[in-house]
Structure 1
């Protein structure tokens, strides 16, 4: 049973030359009972992803 679906999530900060793509076309699903870890380098968008999912 699918409990979370994220499709084509994008988040951009800034404009022009200061534009930064924090999230670019992120898609995934989570099934009931699954555990998932979000890992990556500093500044890779982990917190941004979790903030977007959490609303």
Structure 2
């Protein structure tokens, strides 16, 4: 096995674990932000349309 490939694979695994952990721990905040973002888009579409 190439040491560089193994190191890259480990870094990718750590990055994915951090992303998953972040999404799980901040799930409610992300959902709320997404909902407010959708409301703003609806409001903008209402202005244009």
Higher Cα radius of gyration: 2
TM-score under structure 2 normalisation? 0.28
Q: Report 1 or 2 for greater relative contact order, CA contacts < 8 Å, sequence distance ≥ 6.
A: 1
Which structure has the highest strand share of the two?
1
Bigger helix fraction = 2
